Amino acid sequence: MTLPRTTLRDAWLLATGTLTVVRVPPPGRVDRSVAGLAMVLAPLAVMPLAAAAAAVVLVGGWIDLPPLATAYAVLLTLALGTRAFHWDGLADTADGLTASYSPERSLEVMRTGPVGPAGVVAVVLVAGLQAAGLTAVLRHEHGWWAIALLVCASRSSLALACVRGVPAARADGLGATVIGAVPVVGTVAVLLVAGFAAGLAGHALGSVWPPLVGLVVMAGVVVVLLLRCSRRLGGITGDVLGAAVEVSFAVLVLAAATV
């Protein structure tokens, strides 16, 4: 089945405009088919971010910046390149899951509440894990290339989190449009492509297996997150998608760091 050109264009614009700061025209329409395809295209849509991260690593090497400082510069670049969208989702998800046993109260905290202690701890811990993994990876000669591939591969978590059957906790918002909109075959295809990217990253570092194992672990972690949020909140929200991205990147770079 061939996708209409307008559907593909709208999905690309939605993915790029939502997941990056790249300025693009608004999509002509946003419905379930467009939203689902946008999540499938997410690993490709963030290639500008991947390129920016790779450039930071190369520049850091040229000016002899300490590896840890370069790692945090990469994280800053990725945060600026996404408007810290995913970090906000991670903080809100942590706060919502720890705010109350009431799904309604938890969802209200996630929607309107300021960042609480759980959100701060989650962001600090995940950012620290990402920085630790990146510090080890960028010490490799081809670490810049591996990091770019892992940035793209981490966004495959969006197709997994939005696969059909995953319930939305709210009936409104962009999250409700994309959640459950990706066909199973689309999710499998994205994960296979992500596996190829992870394998290439591992090849650049010296061993394909650690990043591939990391991708499997990443998928397991995302599934656990989805199950937990579905039981506590009655479904997932856009914030949970952001949390999935940041946790996935942490898992992938830590796995790559073991090469």
Phi/psi at 26 (5° precision):
-70, 150
Which residues contact residue 168 at a Cβ distance below 8 angstroms, ignoring those fewer than 6 apart?
A: 175, 176, 179, 180, 235, 236, 237
Is the model's pLDDT at 20 over the cut of 80? yes
pLDDT of 72-118, one tens digit each? 999 999 999 999 999 999 999 999 999 988 999 999 999 987 899 99
- pLDDT value, residue 105: 93
pLDDT of 187-213, one tens digit each? 999 999 999 999 999 999 999 999 999
- pLDDT value, residue 101: 86
Does the residue 22 lie in any domain?
no
Please state, in angstroms and rounded to a whole number, the distance separating the CA atoms of residues 96 and 109. 6
- pLDDT value, residue 45: 98
> Is the full-model pTM beyond 0.75?
yes
pLDDT of 127-180, one tens digit each? 999 999 999 999 999 999 999 999 999 999 999 999 999 999 998 877 999 999
How many independent structural domains does the chain possess? 1
Does the residue 61 lie in any domain?
yes
Does the residue 20 lie in any domain?
no
Does the residue 39 lie in any domain?
no
- pLDDT value, residue 185: 97
Please state, in angstroms and rounded to a whole number, the distance separating the CA atoms of residues 87 and 45. 18
Does the residue 202 lie in any domain?
yes
- pLDDT value, residue 232: 95
Please give the share of the chain, as a percent, with pLDDT higher than 90.
Answer: 94
- pLDDT value, residue 1: 52
Please state, in angstroms and rounded to a whole number, the distance separating the CA atoms of residues 161 and 39. 9
Is the model's pLDDT at 2 over the cut of 70? no
Does the residue 213 lie in any domain?
yes
Mean pLDDT within 224-246: 97
Beta bridge partners of 100: none
- Residue ranges making up the domain that contains 162: 46-256
Whether 195 contacts 215, CB under 8 Å: yes
Does the residue 143 lie in any domain?
yes
pLDDT of 3-16, one tens digit each? 788 999 999 999 99
Mean pLDDT within 29-51: 97
Does the residue 57 lie in any domain?
yes
44-48, 98-102, 176-180, 214-218: least confidently modelled range = 98-102
Which residues contact residue 56 at a Cβ distance below 8 angstroms, ignoring those fewer than 6 apart?
A: 70, 73, 74, 77
